Structure 1
Amino acid sequence: MLPPASFLHEREKIEQRWPAAIRFIEERCLNEFFAEDMADVGIALQGGGYNTLIRALQKLGLANVHGDSKIPLYVMNVAYPLVDAEFERFCRGKRAVLVVEEGQPNFVEQNVANILRQLDIDTKLHGKDVLPLAGDYNTATVLAGVRAFLERYGFVEPQAQPERRQRPIGIPVIAVPAAPPAAPAPAMRQPALAFADGDLEDDAQDDGDGNRIPVGSPVGSIMAYQQGWLAAADDLPPLSETVHPRPPGLCTGCPERPIFTAIKLIERELGAHHISADIGCHLFSILPPFNLGSTTMGYGLGSASSAAFTVAPGSAPAAKRAISIMGDGGFWHNGLTSGIANAVFNRSDNLTVIVDNNYSSATGGQDIPSSRALNPTRSTGHEIERAVKGVGVDWVRTIKRTYDLKAMMATLREALTTPEQGPKVLIAQSECMLNRQRREKKQVRQALADGQRVVRERFGVDPDTCTGDHSCIRLSGCPSLSIRDNPDPLRTDPVAMVIDSCVGCGNCGEVAHAAVLCPSFYRAQIVSNPTRWDRLLQRVRTAVIGWLQRGDARRRARYAF
């Protein structure tokens, strides 16, 4: 729509649709008022921050667990458009109002300031002057800003800043006379507590109820230890500086994990490459433990963002082909044209890895043109490989199982070193584990209820064999992998372990074998509702393994001291 016709639509928006939206918000009470007349200050916020603000007010003693607040709240469940009449109702008669608005610029705060000015309301407005200009508004951040606001208007006592002096923890010592007297030795004094600064505690201290406790007694020593600990705790750094944040990551058993593991292992051989990331689950590759991804532009633009790295064939930069990551959802969104067709047209020599997990997984598992599922209302089953070849790509490889780490590495190595010129596309296929688990868990539960035989696979780590290298963790980052104390008293390095959330994808074992040929991983089959053959086979296995173990124990006993 071009001017002047667009001006007519703009007038319609301002004169008809905007007032209709305001009436809709007011008539249905979409925005909420809480404790409106409880105080002469108030807090206006967007609906998404309500729970965080209530928690902050609870910490200040101004709200309870049911959300009842002692401070008036105006919750904008509809942040656009703002309703002038509701702001006039909330701000009229109040000394000050705090606007809690995450992000920058502070559009809501500026709009509210304009509303108050036009209505000639002299309520003082606060916002980014007590809250951070940018960043996450978590409970601690909101608590600090709300406290500063309420302290200014006398609703909260100013927080006293304790003297940050570390008190050393007391060490019990025995006080003895300088020289032994000739007369019978008097009873020895009770132990006193000596501190590094040379001060001695009194011979007794108070237990809090008025009772004197000798310092040298066990109770006195414990109390002195606790007091020293509490004093020292004041000098500890903030929790955010001592506890490492856990970054978000891929789900347990995600088929995309071995793709990035293979890229990291290939980069060990061929050196670092420029990697263009894309929007989707695979964007977690930019975080530990993979740390892969140099640029991110937008959904389906992984291949397009590497277009600037198209260089002349045979030149020195051409030896390091750029790698683009793209999901199947982004591919059908616009990657086929803006990425693949553009690479063909410009004769790119880079590699594009298309992660084909059957769904648009990052947005909830919706079907897409390449989904394998039968959809009665959508056309599915369109192969990505046919679409890629249809726009002119000659070098196309498809990996049917991404968990085959050796095949992934071999194909990546070929794509990055082949002398063949032109765009290269690697399609890595495996079903999204989250959607697969949603489907299979229902089937397993039904089969167990019907008494059918069900076999589930789990992986584990033999603690006696694990060397503590932890390549399985460093190269996969699977949430099911953790560490525990080494059972061998002569070894101090913790060993790896697999926790119960394991889904049996086998990536950890593949990674360990590819990295260090680790023999500590084993695969176990859990058989529910076993048949007679399963029970007989288990008894035979147990007998054979027991016989071998007893023979091994006898051989080792001959050499024991």
Structure 2
Amino acid sequence: MKELALLGDEAVALGALHAGVSASYGYPGTPSTEILESLIAEYEKGGPLAAWCTNEKTALEAALGVSYTGRRTMVTMKHVGLNVASDPFMNGALLGIKGGLVLAVADDPGMHSSQNEQDSRFYAAFAMIPCLEPRSQQEAYDMTREAFDLSERLHVPVLLRLVTRLSHARAGVAPSEPKEQNPLAKAEDKTEWMLLPAYARKNYNALIEKQKDMLSWSEAHRVNKLELDGRDTDLAVITTGTGGNYYEENLDDLASSRGGKLPARLHIGVYPIPMESVRRLCEKAHRVIIIEEGQPLLEERLLGLLPQRLTVSGKLDGTVVRSGELDPDNVRAALGLMPRPSVKADIPALPGRPPQLCQGCPHGESYETIKQAAAGLESVVIAADIGCYALGALPPYSVPETIVCMGASVGMAKGAADSGIKYAIGVIGDSTFLHSGITGLIDAVAANTPMTLVILDNSIVAMTGCQDTMLPSARLKDVVLGIGVHPDHVIELEAKRQLQDENAARFRTELEYPGLSVVFFKRECLEAFRKRKKQEAAKAQSSGNPETGGTV
């Protein structure tokens, strides 16, 4: 088949399609978003089902339902999304997976768009399931296909671990012949899908027995490449994932610095850790340098708890940078090589350019209103959440005081009110409210907590590229009323500058109410508006009608 230039995320999507996937689910999160967007584009052209879900947990649970019926399924998310999905993820390892189930999880070393650097390989090791870590777009395609086969052979979910640079870089991919979808066929042994204690114990023992097969697969895998012949075995190097690419970019200089002889090396691209290969690599070595993208999973396991003859160097002793991304230059330093020659220019320090809300963003108007309403008040806490509106913590707004994770704004505002804060305010977006805010609001309803929840409703999932929210804006108020918030204290305000004084007065009234209030600030996202008008214009043009335009 013809070679294609694909992003790493697009290569994963194509691999899933060619593996015969029947349904794919996910929640948007950079750097994973483009996987499901690609699959949704195919679905809209008549391909297999692909859909966004309310959160990562519901996405994985839907995928488990597909697997139970014998069909192949994929779930996509970013690394912190796996925290949300961890309950069905950990329990899913004990099920008798029938149709192949693959979790494509994109980690974000360097925190380009995330609140932490967690490494999803730890989750795979915790759940005792295989993990595949591609280092190129071609491997992303090939490993995705292999992951479905492996899942069905071992009857476990399989984790495909990506990182930002791979997800968002483009390279040539040579596809292979597609497979047909699996036929519909429910699992025969229901006890493998019921985690009652008696069955779960049996299933857990079965998972332990599968570890031998997983290890044999890992030891024999083509990407777990051991290089010993003609190498200096006194120094060993272990690379994982994209760390292998950065190591190889320095090979010429490394060979020159060592008299033409390279150190022994093992590259690991699939897990569990191929321990026999590691032992062979290290049996004559006095030092091993571990270059792994992410956290020191491999290094911690090799160090163990007791002193040993072998010196293990990596992130824990400072040989390899502990935070941020790997690159050829910091890997070069870890290998003891001099910095590359470079040109230094005398450029004056440039002013910082932190990310900002778009000009005219409705969230800006909302934050100005909140700031005006809260002016002069004492005993105030404003807890915000993950999303575009998190940028309101920066100047010129500087409104939120806390940003932790999806949905935390609701629970933290409740906790602040419980502690005695008089004016406890939570700020959350419309999609994030559906993702993780509803359950926190139920807690507040049950206690009639004296707090005010602000839902910034811009009618779209904006920060990740304008995906549709799971429920339209018109239905969010019904959700809030259905939970039990008193109708007199569910307020809808239009987020416009010319209404700021009026809105601030109404918002101040709700702040003074000694119970639970929910205030909606509503106005369409500008980017979503532009995207919608562009689509409407294209549709009108194709039907022969002129585009009439519009205003926000």
TM-score, normalised via structure 1 length = 0.50
Which of 398, 401, 409 is the equivalent residue of 2:492? 398
Which stretch shows the higher mean deviation, 266-275 or 123-132? Answer: 266-275
Cα 1:82/1:342, change in 2 over 3 Å: same
8 Å contact from structure 1 (residues 42, 71) kept in 2? yes
The verdict on how the C-alpha distance between 1:268 and 1:35 changes in structure 2, with shifts beyond 3 A counting, is: farther
Q: Distance in 2 between matches of 1:439 and 1:429?
A: 17
| Cα shift readout 1:364-418 (whole Å, capped 9, x = no counterpart) | 655444226xxxxxxxx6x11112122332311113x53x123355324322245
Deviation at 1:355, TM superposition (A): 2.1
Please give the alpha-carbon distance, in whole angstroms, between the structure 1 residues aligned to 2:254 and 2:532: 46
Which 5+ residue runs of structure 2 have no aligned equivalent?
1-194, 256-260
Whether 1:384 aligns to 2:476 is yes
Contact kept, 8 Å, 1:358 with 1:370, in 2: the verdict is no
Query: Is 1:135 aligned to 2:323, yes or no?
Result: yes
| TM superposition shift of 1:344 | 2.5
Separation (CA, whole Å) in 1 of partners of 2:262 and 2:351: 36
Q: Is the 8 A contact 2:385 2:403 kept in 1?
A: yes
CA separation in 1, counterparts of 2:468 and 2:219?
Answer: 38
Contact 2:431 2:460 (C-alpha < 8 Å) held by counterparts: yes
Deviation at 1:439, TM superposition (A): 4.3
**Shift in alpha-carbon separation, 1:298–1:150, aligned structure 2, 3 A:** closer
Mapping for residues 227-246 of structure 1, pairs under 5 Å: 242-246=349-353
Question: Is the aligned partner of 1:441 residue 2:542?
Answer: no
Does the C-alpha gap of structure 1 residues 102 and 261 become closer, same or farther in structure 2, counting only changes over 3 Å?
Answer: farther
TM-aligned CA deviation for residue 425 of structure 1:
0.9
Q: What is residue 112 of structure 1 aligned with on the other side?
A: 302
Could you tell me how far apart the structure 2 residues matched to 1:281 and 1:39 are? 51
Query: Any idea what SS the aligned residue of 2:427 has?
Result: strand
Q: Which residue of 1 aligns with 2:207?
A: 13
| Aligned counterpart in structure 2 of residue 425 of structure 1, from 502, 507, 518 | 518
Flag structure 1 segments of 5+ consecutive residues without an equivalent: 64-68, 161-228, 373-380, 458-503, 506-561
The answer as to 2:392 corresponding to 1:282 is no
Q: How much identity, in percent, do the aligned residues show?
A: 24
> Which residue in the other structure is 1:126 paired with?
313
Query: Partner letter of residue 441 of structure 1?
Result: K
Q: Deviation of residue 126 (structure 1)?
A: 0.8
Equivalent pairs counted in the alignment come to 348
Distance 1:135 1:344 in 2: 41
- Tell me the equivalent position of 2:269: 77
Q: Distance between the aligned counterparts of 1:416 and 1:96, measured in 2?
A: 65
Paired residue for 1:338, among 440, 446, 468? 440
Alignment check: 8 A CA contact 1:300 1:329 kept = no
Change in CA separation of 1:332 and 1:99 when aligned onto 2, cut-off 3 Å: same
Cα distance in 2, alignment partners of residues 125 and 371 from structure 1:
54
The amino acid across from 1:326 in the alignment is I
Pair 423,244 (structure 1): closer, same or farther in 2 beyond 3 Å = same
Structure 2 CA distance for aligned equivalents of residues 358 and 270 of structure 1 = 31
Cα–Cα, structure 1 residues 305 and 137, in superposed 2: closer, same or farther, change >3 Å? same
> Would the alpha carbon gap of residues 369 and 408 (structure 1) be closer, same or farther in structure 2, given more than 3 Å must change?
farther
- For the 8 Å contact 1:306–1:324, the answer to whether it is kept is yes
- Shift of the 123–310 alpha-carbon distance from structure 1 to 2, 3 Å rule, reads closer
Q: Name the residue aligned to 2:412.
A: 305
Shift of 1:326: 1.5
Deviations 1:118-155 (A, max 9, x none): xx9x654211223367432454xx735642x433xxxx
Q: What is aligned with 1:175?
A: none
Does the Cα contact within 8 Å between 1:303 and 1:335 map onto a contact in 2?
yes
Kept after mapping to 2: 8 A contact 1:32/1:74: yes
Q: 1:97 to 1:435 in 2, by over 3 A?
A: farther
- Counterpart CA distance in 2 for 1:436 and 1:268 is 32
**Shift of the alpha carbon at 1:350?**
1.8
* Correspondence for 1:349: 450
Alignment of 1:78-97 (within 5 A): 78=270, 80-91=271-282, 94=285, 96-97=287-288
Q: 1:44 aligns with which of 229, 238, 253?
A: 238
Query: Offset at 1:11?
Result: 2.7
Aligned-pair distance for 1:266? 4.2
Whether contact under 8 Å (2:451, 2:516) holds in the other structure is yes
8 Å CA contact 1:36, 1:73 repeated in 2? no
Tell me the distance in 2 between the aligned counterparts of 1:42 and 1:303: 50
For the residues of structure 2 that align with 1:405 and 1:50, how far apart are their CA atoms? 52
d(CA) in 1 for partners of 2:417, 2:376: 22
Change (3 A) 1:108 1:28: closer
Q: Residues 150 and 397 from structure 1, CA distance in 2 versus in 1: closer, same or farther, beyond 3 angstroms?
A: same
Q: Give the distance between the partners of 1:254 and 1:36, measured in 2 at CA.
A: 61
How far 1:89 moved relative to its partner? 4.8
Higher relative contact order (CA 8 A, sep 6+): 2
Do 1:276 and 1:293's aligned partners in 2 also have CA atoms closer than 8 Å? yes
TM-score (norm 2): 0.51
1:48-197 equivalences in 2 (<5 Å) = 48-50=242-244, 57=250, 61=253, 74-78=266-270, 80-91=271-282, 94=285, 96-101=287-292, 106-114=296-304, 124-127=311-314, 128-131=316-319, 134-139=322-327, 143-144=329-330, 146-147=332-333, 149-151=334-336, 156=337
Q: What is the rounded CA distance, in whole Å, between the counterparts of 1:252 and 1:62 in structure 2?
A: 49
The SS at the match of 1:303 is: helix
For 1:324 and 1:87, the matched residues in 2 are separated by: 50
CA 1:159/1:309 → structure 2, altered by over 3 Å: closer, same or farther?
closer
CA-atom RMSD in angstroms:
4.6
Q: Which amino acid aligns with 2:534?
A: K
Q: Is the CA contact (8 Å cut-off) linking 1:344 and 1:422 kept in structure 2?
A: no
- AA of the residue aligned to 1:108: L
1:157–1:311: structure 2 CA closer, same or farther, 3 Å change rule? closer
